[in-house]
Amino acid sequence: MFLNCNNYYFFMFPVVEPNPFWVKKTSYPKLSKNIKTEVVIVGAGIAGITSAIHLQEHGYKVTLVEQSKVCYGATGSSSGILYFGTGTDCHSAIELFGEKNARLLWEETKKSIEIIHSLIEKNNIHCGLRKPGTIIIARDEKENELIEREAIAMKRLGYPGKMLNSTDIKGIFSGKEFFSGLEQDFCSQIKPGLFAGELCEKFNLQVFENTPMRQIEETRNGLIVKSPEARIDCDGVVVASNIQPFFGLEKNFVVESSTIIPSIELGPRLKELWKQDKIFWTPDEYYDIFYQHDGRAFFEVYRLKGAQEKISRYFPGDVAFEMNKQWGSVWSKTRDWLPIVGKVKEKVFSAIAVGDQGIVIGFTAGRKIVAAIEGKNDPLLEMFSPKRFPIKA
């Protein structure tokens, strides 16, 4: 449903529990008394937390408010795969944004991944960072044409991959046989809820959980953000929740979801399946993903219907998946595959990520918010600007 906040509109979705395997254990109080700050950030997922860190490092006094709990929803439920771009492949990015902008997008998201790795290592963050690389698999000749096209596009952007034949893949993954594959070494993975949750602690962020924003009021001197029990007087607001498209932008979003299904613990059988640790995915828009982690195989699907049949395409019959332990989330994605980062109204800014590659692009949105607030020129912000969409008065 919508909440009307002086012409500021917000979607309200049910709270979705994060996954049951990599549970964040920290908690924060509810806002129960009036406070003052410089910037209120709405949404304590990866985009909101990253925005808070960068603003704080630039001298701003920042308060994070979260309607449920830190890293619930899309961030906590994500598979945590760190890959370039916003969810398209290289070929599609070039078609959508042009080669110059596609290259910029790949370079900026590469930088975000490097910063994530650095933060984990420098701050000793325990979030299961691993760097297995990935293989895009082709199941037939038609899909082989897609990944060959992708290999050419990757090379154009400066990220070469390696084509594999069926025998090559069998030496890496001994499950079902595939026609061919495109191997890429620049893909890593984290447990995102643990990563983002520890960032809040390491950077000593002021966070209030179970504090939904109900209303924003403009005053002569700034803004008032109202929650059910208290209010925050502030100079500006950053909305950083990708399940709350707002300010007349709603029609430019679609809502998507994904589900991750774990296998039983596989013991020595896991090593027989994955002779090399790689993340596999298919080349179609609503791709299937599977990988091994923490003694299990994990299978991610964008449409749950038919998931069991899909599993049988990739895994031998002796590998059982526990459908009762599945988890997932919903998110909003812009129709042009780009996040919305920048000024929306006077003193109100957005750092809205998109679902696909959401951890990386959410982090990228957050690290660009200072430039957006301070009105600095940035070519990536030009791509991400809310101005590319018509906004209701």
Q: Nearest 5°: CA angle at 251, between 246 and 255?
A: 85
Q: What's the average model confidence in pLDDT over 101-121?
A: 97
The residue range of the domain holding 160 is 134-185+264-321
Q: Is residue 327 part of a domain?
A: no
Q: Is the pLDDT of residue 112 over 90?
A: yes
Residues 107 and 172 in one domain: no
Q: What is the pLDDT of residue 305?
A: 85
Residues 116 and 214 in one domain: yes
What is the band of 9 on the pLDDT scale with cuts at 50, 70, 90? very low
Higher pLDDT, 18 or 32: 32
**218-262, pLDDT tens digit by residue?**
998 899 999 999 999 999 999 998 765 456 677 788 888 889 999
Q: Is residue 219 part of a domain?
A: yes
**323-372, pLDDT tens digit by residue?**
999 998 888 888 899 999 999 889 999 998 886 788 999 999 999 999 99
What is the band of 6 on the pLDDT scale with cuts at 50, 70, 90? very low
Q: What is the pLDDT of residue 24?
A: 78
Which tokens go with 248? 């007349």
- The rounded distance, in Å, linking the Cα atoms of 34 and 119 is 33
Residues 176 and 289 in one domain: yes
% pLDDT > 90, the chain = 74
Q: Is residue 11 part of a domain?
A: no
Q: What is the pLDDT of residue 151?
A: 97
Q: Which of 275, 294, 321 is the last residue of a domain?
A: 321
Q: What's the average model confidence in pLDDT over 152-166?
A: 95
Residues 232 and 209 in one domain: yes
Q: Is residue 176 part of a domain?
A: yes
**175-217, pLDDT tens digit by residue?**
999 999 999 998 999 999 999 999 999 999 999 999 998 889 9
Q: Is the pLDDT of residue 5 over 50?
A: no
Residues 45 and 112 in one domain: yes
Contacts (Cβ under 8 Å, ≥6 apart) of 98: none
Q: What's the average model confidence in pLDDT over 153-159?
A: 94
Q: Is residue 259 part of a domain?
A: no
Q: Is residue 15 part of a domain?
A: no
CATH number at residue 60: 3.50.50.60
Q: What is the pLDDT of residue 357?
A: 82
Q: What is the pLDDT of residue 199?
A: 96
Q: Is the pLDDT of residue 279 over 90?
A: yes
Residues 289 and 380 in one domain: no
Q: What is the pLDDT of residue 15?
A: 45
Residues 279 and 373 in one domain: no
Q: What's the average model confidence in pLDDT over 4-19?
A: 46
Residues 175 and 219 in one domain: no
Higher pLDDT, 107 or 391: 107
In total, how many domains does the chain have?
Answer: 2
Residues 181 and 301 in one domain: yes
Residues 123 and 241 in one domain: yes
Q: Is residue 23 part of a domain?
A: no
